[in-house]
A = this chain, B = another copy of it.
Amino acid sequence: MSSRDRRQDVTIKDVAQAAGVSYATVSRVINNYKHVTPDKRERVVNAMIRLGYVVNQQARSLAGGHSGVIGLLVPDVGNGYIGEVIRGIDAELAANQYDLMLYTTHRHPSKESMYVATLTRGMTDGLLLLLPLNPSAYLDALHQKQFPYVVIDHQGFDDFSPTIIARNFVGAYNAIRYLIDLGHRRIGFVAGTPELASAIERLNGYKQALRDCGLEFDPALVENGDFQQPTAYAAATRLFALADRPTAIFAASDISAFGVYDAAYMAGLRIPQDVSIIGFDDIPQAANTHPRLTTVRQPLYEMGRQATRMLLEEIECPSGVVRRIEFDTELIIRDSCQPLNGLPSSQTVGRGGASV
């Protein structure tokens, strides 16, 4: 089927011949075996360089070696949140000479299982699952197969999956406390996909903060969303149309917050004078909006790195120990909130301040 002439590629046999050794020896040199005489090793290395030998990963992994590639499943690409995590993964992978196979599930739970099946059939040495929608469908199998994997941002309901997660509950809790401290009482919440544990945790944090402050939970102030901008726009529009409209809105993601921004502008509400807004994630764009978005920071890049490190360690020396790392979230105060009927709360100067 493939039109190109693979015969022109140089293989270990060519190298062996050129170096005057058996091709098993070449394989040994490539794989850094200890017991090869320096003399032969050098001859082989020279031949490899001279001939421009490049290893064929497929053959290597078929024959039982490792493939040197890690599979990554993400719901989609091109959104800030995922981009940051991928950056972290990519950095760690590159540092360890691993390659990346990227799969987008396009938020189709059924695709997940399919991809997992393919990827674990020799193509990859391990799997990174970001925001899986339907992990129960295959996590058991992976675990049984002892196939290395790490789940990012999904507080699993099992106790055998290595996991990287941020403290979503605390992050949301603190955000709401901050809003309440500013005097807000009617706080709207544009929630995330209820299938995702992180969305639920954020909702719980919201509720708990209200409760701890003696505020009543009003279901009318909570709109379901999906972390995306258009949905958040629609949700916020409904919230702003309420007779007793919220004076502050907490969005389950920065992208949602941008949708809330849009809705506020369309409703003629000024931020933060007429409505305070807080996001979640702290993606790079959050600092480029106007006013700059106050948000709950997740260390996305670092989460990607750590997940990868965890996976690579498990691949290279399997311990069987199930680790779970929780990252702290941090409230990043910028310019999108202010005390109810008060002055801007931002302590910052510069861009945000000057532009008001």
Contacts and interface: CB of A to CB of B under 8 A. Distances in A.
Interface of A: 1-6, 8-9, 52, 54-59, 61-62, 64-67, 69, 76-80, 83-84, 86-87, 90, 94, 99-104, 106, 117-118, 121-123, 125, 145-147, 258, 261-262, 265-266, 268, 270, 284-285, 288-291, 315, 318, 350-352, 354-355
A307 B67 CA distance: 28
B2 A66 contact: yes
Contact of A266 (B5, B121, B350): B350
Contacts of A59: 58, 62, 122
Contacts of A84: 78
B87 A54 contact: no
Given A5-B146, A65-B1, A54 B351 contact: no
A78 B69 contact: no
A61 B122 CA distance: 12
A266 B268 CA distance: 27
A4 B125 CA distance: 10
B64 A1 contact: yes
Contacts of A2: 64-66, 125, 315
Contacts of A318: 3
Given A1-B65, A58-B62, A100-B101, A6 B288 contact: no
Given A101-B99, A125-B2, A57 B118 contact: yes
A86 B77 contact: yes
Contacts of A104: 90, 94, 100
A145 B5 CA distance: 7
Contacts of A350: 265-266
Given A55-B118, A58-B61, A266-B351, 5 more contacts: A2-B65, A2-B66, A6-B64, A94-B106, A262-B351
Nearest to A300: B78
A258 B58 CA distance: 44
A147 B99 CA distance: 20
B67 A77 contact: no
A4 B5 CA distance: 34
B103 A99 contact: yes
A201 to B, nearest CB: 25
A229 to B, nearest CB: 8
Ranked nearest first, the 5 interchain pairs of A and B with the lowest CB-CB distance are A290-B290, A78-B83, A265-B351, A78-B87, A58-B58
Contacts of A94: 104, 106
25 contacts: A1-B64, A1-B66, A2-B64, A3-B146, A4-B147, A5-B146, A9-B121, A9-B122, A55-B121, A57-B121, A58-B58, A58-B61, A58-B67, A59-B122, A69-B101, A77-B87, A78-B83, A78-B84, A101-B101, A258-B288, A261-B351, A268-B354, A270-B355, A289-B289, A290-B290
Contacts of A106: 94
A87 B99 CA distance: 20
A117 B3 contact: no
A350 to B, nearest CB: 6
